Each structure stands twice: as C-alpha cells, then as structure tokens.
Chains A and B, each alone.
Chain A
Amino acid sequence: MSFNIDFLAWRRVALIFSSIFLIVSVSSLFLKELNYGLDFTGGTLVELSYPDSANISEIRETLVNGGFVGAQVANFGSSKEVLIKLPGTVSDSLGSEIVTLLGSVSSDQDVDLRRIEYVGPQIGSELRDDGGTAMLIALAFMMLYIAFRFQSMFAGAAVIALVHDVIIVVGIFSLIEIEFDLTVLAALLAVIGYSLNDTIVVSDRIRENIRSMESDSTEEIINTSLNQTLGRTLITSLTTLLVLFSLYLLGGELIKNFALALIFGVIIGTYSSIYIAANALVMMGLSKDHLRVEEPENADENILP
C-alpha cells in the first residue's frame, strides 16, 4: 500500500470534528453521567438460568412480594437467563435469599444459579478511586517515557491524543448507556496502550524523516511520515479489530462491554494518531531544530536482530 494523501489539509476539519465529539462526550458525562456497574456502585446481583424462557414479570412480582423492592430484573444474553440487580444494598446475604425465594416459587426445580455478586459500599468507592488513580498514573508514565525516548513535544502530543481518546470512549459509553464496570476500565487502560502504540509509530517516523529529509517544512515532513505509516496503521487496526469482533460476538456476555470499549478505542485511537497527535505537533511548532544532533542518524542500525 502506498498513499499520498494531504492529511494536514484536513486538519481544521478534523479539529472541528474532534471538538464536537469532545463537547458531546463531556456534556453527556455531566448530564447523564456514567452507567456505573455493580463494581462501582456496590450492591447485589444474581444471575439465574431457567430451563425455558423466564417470565420476567412473574419474577419481578415474586421479588416485590418477597420484600425485595427496587429489584431490577432483565434478561441477560438469552431469554432463559435472568439478571436481578439490587444496586446500593449493604447486606451480604440478599443474593442467597433471592436464590432461595425464586427457587422455592418456581414450579420446576431446575433454576440454575449462574452467579451471585455482592460488593459492599466501601469496596465500590475504593475500586472507583483506584481505577482513576491507575488511569492517571498510566498517563503520567507514558508521558515520561516518550519525553525520555523522543522529546517533550512528542510527549505532549501523545498525551493530548490519549486524553482525547479516553474522553470520547467514556463519552460514548455514557451516551449509549452501556454499563461501565471493572473490565471496561481495564479495556480503557488497554486503549491507552494501544493508541499510544500508533502514536509512537507515527512519531518515530516523523523523527526519522526530520533528520533524513531535505525539506524544511514540518508540514511536509509530517505528511510524508503519515503516508508512510498509514498502511501499517490500517493493517494493525484491522487485525486488532478482527480479534475484538470475535471477542464481542463469541466471548460471552461478561466480555461484551470490554470488547466494545476496545473496538471504539481502536477506531478512535487510529484516527487520533493521524489527526490529533500529528496536528498537535504542527501546532506546537515542531521544527528541525528540536531534534538536531540528539542522536547520530541510524544509531539503531547495529542493534538486534
């Protein structure tokens, strides 16, 4: 694949596009907030499997009569599986009580317990804090590493791209009300890793070209670099998306949101490494002087393999 696209000509359009996305994401986060899962809200969750289609309204009624007011009942994955949620509860015994109650009411004995989860209120808020901390630490480390390996402008550009990606993925989750739990948080951190992958490959090429190309125009150098790496960026995104779609389709209900977060993340990460990170470098005024004589050219020539 070889390309000759004038990416930077589109950079104002991309800027507007990203701004709109960011504004929508941030306002959705403020207005609708995130649909936090049990891991973060605390509470009780029971998943049961019925031999035939489960009668949701009957189950709801049984629960209300049994004193479990405010229980959310819904199908999970298929019509036989039922998910019962009691967010914010503080007793650790509700799960087994619900199982006993529904087991005794059901006409057939084959109600199968799939899982019970109980998360106490302190644990929920701790997990939330730890998750946020982990995210910030990850960003800080990324910035340090790039500043060390490249140059501070690249670090700034990379972090702008990462923050852009994370906000938009979280925004999408808020917007379409997908549950945000621990696995989604892990996916989000993986998005940071992935998106940075892309950004580094592009930055690496820019650095190389700044040293080797004769042109003095940063725009031209960046454009050439983007075109040179575009083939690789697209292929890697494609193979990653292939495995993510197979996880989404076959990985089961527990992995679905994890895969979804990564799918959004990979798409946005690919876009941002082209338009956001490179754009940021141009805007910050990267020039040949910034990278002159730091390393002799092709210092890497004699390294493995």
Chain B
Amino acid sequence: MKRYGLWKYLLIFAILGFGIIYSLPNLYAPDPAVQISYTSSSQSADSLLADRVKELIDDARFQTKIELEEDYVLVRTDSYQNQLLIKDILSSNLINDVVIALNLAPTTPKWLEDIGGSPMKLGLDLRGGVHFLMQVDTQTAIKNRQDGTLQDIRRRFREEKIRYNQANVQDDSSIFLKFNNLDALSKAEEFIIDNYSQFTYPLITNEDSLKLVLSDTEIEQIESDAIDQNLTTLRNRVNELGVSEPIVQRQGKKRIVVQLPGIQDTAEAKNILGKTATLEFHLEAQMDTPRSRKTSYPYRNGFGAPAFLQDSIILGGDQVATAQASFDENGLPQVNITLDGEGGAKMHRATRGNIGKRLGVLFVEQKTRTIYERDLEGNQIPVQESFEIKEIISLATIRAALGTTFRITGLDSPSESSELALLLRAGALAAPMTFVEERTVGPSLGADNIQAGIFSMQLGLFLVLGFILFYYRVFGIAASLALTFNIVLLVAIMSILSATLTLPGIAGIVLTVGMAVDANVLIFSRIREELKKGREPLEAIDAGYNRAFLTIWDANVTTLIVAVILLSYGTGPVKGFAITLSIGIITSMFTAIMGTRAFVNLIYGSKKDLERISI
C-alpha cells in the first residue's frame, strides 16, 4: 500500500481547522439591534449621539448594550419586540437629522472577527425584506437632455443673432429647427456643427429646416449617465429610509436591483424610491414675454388661477445642497433649503435685478401609467408610458436678492414637506423608473424558511449517515466523517466569500449531502470488487481509490458545468442553489477522496499483514 506522506495529513488537518474556525461565526445567533446614524454622510456618529441614545433608552429600562461603531451607534437588544419598541422611542424623540434602522447585529466574538471570520449572509427569503427590480425609462432621459440642449441653442442663437421660425423637440427626441431663409439656415448649420458634437450629420431636411439627431454613442452615454445618476440617487434615498445592509445594483443595461432587508412597508418604500419629484425655480412671466417663451401652470394645492412662468430655469433641484422640513411661524409646513455655491450665485444673479417681481417654485414630477395598445393581431398589450406633472407650489414676490439659503412655503402637509425635503436631499432621478418585479418576504415566513431548511438538512444528514454506517461499517465511519467535514467546509467557504444563503441554497447543500456520498460509494464498490478478485486488502484499497478517481472526476466536472451555467443564467433563487451546489461539488471531491483516504490509512495503513477489512 502506498504510504500517505505526513504532509498530506498536515494539509488535511490544516484545511479541517480552517473549516471549523471560519464556519464557527454561524453558530452565534445575531442580536436584534437598532442602528442610528446621522443623515448627512459627512457627519459620522460620535459619543454625543451615543449619549443622547443612552439617555432615551435608559429611561425606558430595556436590556440593551449600546456600542459606538465607526459610522453609527448600535443598540443591541434581546428580543424583536424590544427592537421595535426602541426604534419607536428613538424615532419619536430624536430630531430629524438622524436615520434609524433595524438591524441584525452579528455576535461574532472579537478573536474570530480579528482573523476575518463572519457569518454567512442570509438572503431575503430567510431574513425577510423586499426585493425590487426597476427598469429605467432612458427614453425620457434622452428627451430631457434634448430639452436642455434646445434651451441652450435658443439662447445662443439669440446671442449670435440667428433668426429661426420654429424650434422644438419632436416625439422621436430629435430637435427640429425651422428657418425663414437659407442664409439663417446655413449660418445655423455651421454654428451647430462647430458647437454641438453630439449630433449625426447631415442636418438639413425639407430645404428650410434642421433636424438634430443624437449619435448612437451619445445616446449610449446619456443612457449610462442616467442609470449612474439613478443609482446614486437611489442609494441616497435608501439611506434615508433607514435600512441596514441594503443592496442597490445595476442589472443588465437598463435595470436596477434594490434589496432592502427587514423592510415591511413596501408601499412607503416604493413611494420614496420611485418618486422623480424635484423643484425648478422660474421667474414669473411678464406681460411682454412672448408666448413662445412662457408656459402656464396650475397650482399644486388647486387654489388660484394658473399662472405664467418664464420657460428659462434659474436653477433646478440638483443644485440644492441640503433641505430640511420644518414649520413656519404660523405652524405651516415649510422646507428650508440651502443651495450649493454655484446655485447660490445663480439665484443671486437672477433675483438681484428682479426685486419686486415674483419668483415661482415649480414642483416637477414624472410618473408612469399603464395604457393598453392593440398589437398587429388585435390583442391588448400593456405599455408603460411616462408623463410629467408640473405644478406651482409657491409664487412669491422677491423682496431682496436671494442667496444660498431660503425657505419654501405653500406645501399641503407636514408629510409633503418632509418627503420633498428628503427627495431634494437625496437628489433627483435622471429618468423615471417602473417596478418590473417585486418580491416581499415577511419576517414570519423568513423564520419558517430557516426552520424548514435546518430540519430538512438534519433529517437528510441523519438518514444518509445512518445508511452508510450500516452498509459500509468502518469505511462508513470514514465516509460519514467526510460528509460532515464537507458541510463544515462548505459553510466556511460560503462565509469567507460572504456569499448569500437562500432557501434554495440550503436545498443545494442538502442535495450535495446526498450526492457527495457517490464518490465514496464508487471507491468502496471498487475496493469490494478488488477484494473479490482475490487481492490483498491493502492492495485492494489502493486499487479502489486509483481506479475510481477518474470516474469521480468526470462525474463531478459535468455536474459542476451545470452549476456554473445555472450561476450565470439564473437569477434570485436559482443563483442561491447554484452557489451552494458548485462549492459543495468542489469541497466534496476533496473530503470524499483525500479525507476518507487519510482516515482509512490511519486505521489500516500501519498494519503490515492485514487479512480483513470492514467494508
């Protein structure tokens, strides 16, 4: 029999030790906790905040531990009821510059944490929460960009004294410019070619007009900018919602995934995430403002006749640095706004020369609705269509030049003012989004799923171990140890990769348990055959392992190919299954071949003339 070198034992023990240590963190149940952080990301949590929290909670006498982490204050508690109670107490007593989120705080001991140990992440189906998939309406982003460009073109045509008849953005998002005479047309064409590189050429249509069509690279750029901005904005909004460990990720070309563990009120979350509301500041149109440069808007609260505002925007919501909801001296809701430097300068310039005139604050919101269209076969098909709402929320006389800070009144309710403040703080979405998929799992189902997963794993393991111990005796002990070791190793690797464990993922582990035995069955059957042929036991063991190896290899590689295909094509539940299946296949090859071999050698390897083996 071939000797099994010392280094192989050492390697196996090292890997076993590694597996045990890094799977350990999963045995410590997490604490229900509340985490408190400042709204503004520049301000990190300090002892001041921790003291405020301590004061509030000591009064209520909960079993808690308050810790100051890098970015937040963490209040650990012993039950889910207390967790909710504490959250309520904190949110009604702390003023609105903090975000309060429910959290499951790991209780990994310090020494494990120091060597990088952490528990597996639980998927939403196990811990409860919401999964949203949103589709970005990039068409609107393109249209918005063209609107902005058109405004710019008009202004510069005026400066350049190029006269035009008609200028608008068409349904296909191209800009249409019509001219009186060929001279203006050619001047305009030359000017556009020199100054705007984003359009394709040629520009001339119908001999008297220009059609400005965006080039493909430009469209791609706008689309990807829109998604990037939406991602940033969504991250900000999610932070405002108070969720620990949220996921906001791009998926494919036009989609964004948002996962909010622990959130139950999906209606509120959707309302905040999907809103495209922002503000625009316009001067009121004067009597002499030409019709083509002003638009009439209704009031948001429904009172008062619609008023005309100038089409040119002084500034938009993107130049708001911070916004806080509060109440004015009459107890009416208001939003205090601070502009960034550039916005302040613009506002100052615009209001300085217009004292006595009125400044309009326009509330702009993009919404989507489902309409039904008939396709070629006459079937009704749903189509998402976006539309824009623009309403005046205030129109007030400018008494002095405005600077970087001012306030907006004229809001309906405190909830509207705080929502508007939140949306202004978090930034606007570059393009509206529709929810194309939603999966919400309540906490009770999550807990049940964990239970079900653990029970089925226990039963499966028990049955399989029982069977192989009965059937293979001493070799069965080797296989059982290998199987248990396999699960430990699988969990350790999942933890280190911080892979997410889902219910199908648990199913994958259970399935691995059943299938991992296969390698040992192959080896053991081979050994039995060799014994029957009359070989010496130790030779038979050798031959069994050697001959079975290639078969095991081929069989596992093919399953691994399937798992990898699942991993790249699957979403959500399928992915969770594929992850545990692939890791399980790899770890099981190691434990079933090297692990059992080491064990068998330890037992039988030293006996020189072995007559019988128990298989």
CA gap between A49 and B442 in the complex, in Å? 10
Question: Contacting A232 at CB < 8 Å: which of B513, B525, B573?
Answer: B525
- Residues 213-229 of chain A, each 1 if its beta carbon lies under 8 Å from chain B, else 0: 00000000000000011
CA gap between A145 and B558 in the complex, in Å? 8
Q: Which of A8-16, A63-71, A90-98 contacts B (4 or more CB under 8 A)?
A: A90-98
**Interface range on chain B: under 10, 10 to 19, 20 to 34, or 35 or more?**
35 or more
- Let me know if A250 is at the binding interface, CB within 8 A: yes
CA gap between A91 and B434 in the complex, in Å? 10
- Residues 558-581 of chain B, each 1 if its beta carbon lies under 8 Å from chain A, else 0: 110111011001111110011001
- Let me know if B551 is at the binding interface, CB within 8 A: yes
Q: Are B574 and A116 in contact (CB under 8 A)?
A: no
Q: Are A186 and B515 in contact (CB under 8 A)?
A: no
Q: Which B residues touch A113, using CB under 8 A?
A: 264, 440, 442
Please, which residue of chain B has its CB at the minimum distance from the CB of A229? Answer: B525
Task: Determine how close the nearest CB of chain B comes to the CB of A120; give it in whole angstroms.
Answer: 4
Q: Which A residues touch B562, using CB under 8 A?
A: 138, 142, 189-190, 192-193, 196
Q: Are A250 and B452 in contact (CB under 8 A)?
A: yes
Q: Which of B55-63, B275-283, B459-467 contacts A (4 or more CB under 8 A)?
A: B459-467
- Let me know if A40 is at the binding interface, CB within 8 A: no
CA gap between A192 and B566 in the complex, in Å? 12
A96-B266, A239-B517, A247-B507 in contact; A115/B445 too (CB < 8 A)?
A: yes
CA gap between A119 and B551 in the complex, in Å? 43
A122-B436, A242-B467 in contact; A251/B593 too (CB < 8 A)?
A: no
Q: Which B residues touch A283, using CB under 8 A?
A: none
Q: Are A232 and B455 in contact (CB under 8 A)?
A: no
A118-B435, A186-B574 in contact; A255/B559 too (CB < 8 A)?
A: no
CA gap between A278 and B609 in the complex, in Å? 41
Q: Are A96 and B267 in contact (CB under 8 A)?
A: yes
Q: Are B573 and A182 in contact (CB under 8 A)?
A: yes
CA gap between A195 and B240 in the complex, in Å? 50
Question: Contacting B504 at CB < 8 Å: which of A116, A194, A255, A302?
Answer: A255
A114-B442, A183-B573 in contact; A242/B555 too (CB < 8 A)?
A: no
A96-B267, A123-B437, A183-B504 in contact; A246/B510 too (CB < 8 A)?
A: yes
Please, which residue of chain A has its CB at the minimum distance from the CB of B449? Answer: A252
Q: Which of B409-456 contact A (CB under 8 A)?
A: 434-442, 444-445, 448-449, 452-453, 455-456
CA gap between A41 and B311 in the complex, in Å? 45
- Let me know if B597 is at the binding interface, CB within 8 A: yes
Q: Are B551 and A91 in contact (CB under 8 A)?
A: no
Q: Are B558 and A142 in contact (CB under 8 A)?
A: yes
Please, which residue of chain A has its CB at the minimum distance from the CB of B455? Answer: A250
Task: Determine how close the nearest CB of chain B comes to the CB of A250; give it in whole angstroms.
Answer: 4
Q: Are A235 and B440 in contact (CB under 8 A)?
A: no
Task: Determine how close the nearest CB of chain A comes to the CB of B465; give it in whole angstroms.
Answer: 10
Q: Which of B14-44 contact A (CB under 8 A)?
A: none
* Interface of B: prevailing SS: helix
Question: Contacting A305 at CB < 8 Å: which of B545, B557, B569, B581?
Answer: B545
Question: Contacting B571 at CB < 8 Å: which of A127, A145, A300?
Answer: A127
Q: Are A235 and B566 in contact (CB under 8 A)?
A: no
Interface centre among B457, B504, B545 (most CB of A within 10 A): B504
A-B contact count (CB 8 A): 236
- Let me know if A34 is at the binding interface, CB within 8 A: no
A235-B471, A252-B448, A301-B546 in contact; A116/B517 too (CB < 8 A)?
A: no
- Let me know if A185 is at the binding interface, CB within 8 A: yes
- Let me know if B382 is at the binding interface, CB within 8 A: yes
A117-B440, A149-B554, A239-B464 in contact; A197/B559 too (CB < 8 A)?
A: yes
Q: Which of A84-126 contact B (CB under 8 A)?
A: 90-93, 95-96, 112-123
Q: Are A138 and B448 in contact (CB under 8 A)?
A: no
Q: Which A residues touch B441, using CB under 8 A?
A: 114-115
Q: Are A247 and B510 in contact (CB under 8 A)?
A: yes
A145-B557, A196-B558, A251-B452 in contact; A112/B507 too (CB < 8 A)?
A: no
Question: Contacting B521 at CB < 8 Å: which of A182, A232, A258, A305?
Answer: A232
Task: Determine how close the nearest CB of chain B comes to the CB of A75; give it in whole angstroms.
Answer: 15
A92-B270, A114-B445, A303-B549 in contact; A232/B440 too (CB < 8 A)?
A: no
Q: Are B594 and A255 in contact (CB under 8 A)?
A: no
Question: Contacting B518 at CB < 8 Å: which of A133, A236, A259?
Answer: A236
Q: Are B370 and A90 in contact (CB under 8 A)?
A: yes
A114-B442, A134-B570, A242-B460 in contact; A236/B521 too (CB < 8 A)?
A: yes
CA gap between A251 and B503 in the complex, in Å? 9
- Let me know if A147 is at the binding interface, CB within 8 A: no
Q: Which A residues touch B546, using CB under 8 A?
A: 300-303, 305
Q: Are B438 and A117 in contact (CB under 8 A)?
A: yes
Q: Are A243 and B549 in contact (CB under 8 A)?
A: no
Interface centre among A113, A120, A186, A194 (most CB of B within 10 A): A186
Task: Determine how close the nearest CB of chain B comes to the CB of A291; give it in whole angstroms.
Answer: 15
How many residues does chain A have at the interface if contact means C-beta atoms less than 8 Å apart?
78
- Let me know if B550 is at the binding interface, CB within 8 A: yes
- Let me know if B547 is at the binding interface, CB within 8 A: yes
Q: Are A243 and B569 in contact (CB under 8 A)?
A: no
CA gap between A238 and B436 in the complex, in Å? 42
Q: Which A residues touch B213, using CB under 8 A?
A: none
CA gap between A92 and B506 in the complex, in Å? 30
Task: Determine how close the nearest CB of chain B comes to the CB of A186; give it in whole angstroms.
Answer: 4
CA gap between A96 and B440 in the complex, in Å? 10
CA gap between A239 and B524 in the complex, in Å? 15
Q: Which A residues touch B569, using CB under 8 A?
A: 130-131, 133-134, 137
Q: Are B554 and A247 in contact (CB under 8 A)?
A: no
A92-B270, A255-B456 in contact; A120/B435 too (CB < 8 A)?
A: yes
CA gap between A247 and B597 in the complex, in Å? 30
CA gap between A242 and B266 in the complex, in Å? 39
Q: Which B residues touch A73, using CB under 8 A?
A: none
Q: Are A141 and B561 in contact (CB under 8 A)?
A: yes
Q: Are B456 and A246 in contact (CB under 8 A)?
A: yes
Q: Which B residues touch A285, using CB under 8 A?
A: none
Q: Are A251 and B437 in contact (CB under 8 A)?
A: no
CA gap between A96 and B437 in the complex, in Å? 14
Q: Which of A38-72 contact B (CB under 8 A)?
A: 47, 49
Q: Which A residues touch B554, using CB under 8 A?
A: 149, 200, 204
Q: Which A residues touch B455, using CB under 8 A?
A: 250
- Let me know if A201 is at the binding interface, CB within 8 A: yes
Task: Determine how close the nearest CB of chain A comes to the CB of B374; give it in whole angstroms.
Answer: 15
Q: Are A246 and B440 in contact (CB under 8 A)?
A: no
Q: Which A residues touch B467, using CB under 8 A?
A: 238-239, 242
Q: Which B residues touch A170, using CB under 8 A?
A: none
A145-B557, A247-B510 in contact; A242/B594 too (CB < 8 A)?
A: no
Please, which residue of chain B has its CB at the minimum distance from the CB of A254? Answer: B503
Q: Which A residues touch B555, using CB under 8 A?
A: 196-197, 200-201
Q: Which A residues touch B439, using CB under 8 A?
A: 115-118
Q: Which B residues touch A229, using CB under 8 A?
A: 525
Please, which residue of chain B has its CB at the minimum distance from the CB of A203? Answer: B554
Q: Are B435 and A258 in contact (CB under 8 A)?
A: no
Task: Determine how close the nearest CB of chain A comes to the CB of B453; give it in whole angstroms.
Answer: 7
A→B interface (CB under 8 Å): 2, 47, 49, 90-93, 95-96, 112-123, 127, 130-131, 133-134, 137-138, 141-142, 145-146, 149, 182-183, 185-186, 189-190, 192-194, 196-197, 200-201, 204-205, 228-229, 231-232, 235-236, 238-244, 246-247, 249-252, 254-255, 258-259, 262, 300-305
Q: Beyond A92-B438, A134-B565, list 5 extra A-B contacts (CB 8 Å).
A: A96-B267, A182-B571, A183-B573, A238-B467, A258-B507
B→A interface (CB under 8 Å): 125, 133, 135, 264, 266-267, 270, 370, 382, 434-442, 444-445, 448-449, 452-453, 455-457, 459-461, 463-464, 467-468, 471, 503-504, 506-507, 510-511, 513-515, 517-518, 521-522, 525, 529, 532, 545-547, 549-551, 554-555, 557-559, 561-563, 565-566, 569-574, 577-578, 581, 593-594, 597
Contacts A/B (CB < 8 Å), 5 sampled: A120-B436, A142-B562, A239-B514, A242-B460, A305-B597
Top 6 closest A-B pairs, CB basis?
A: A252-B452, A243-B514, A243-B460, A120-B436, A193-B562, A134-B569
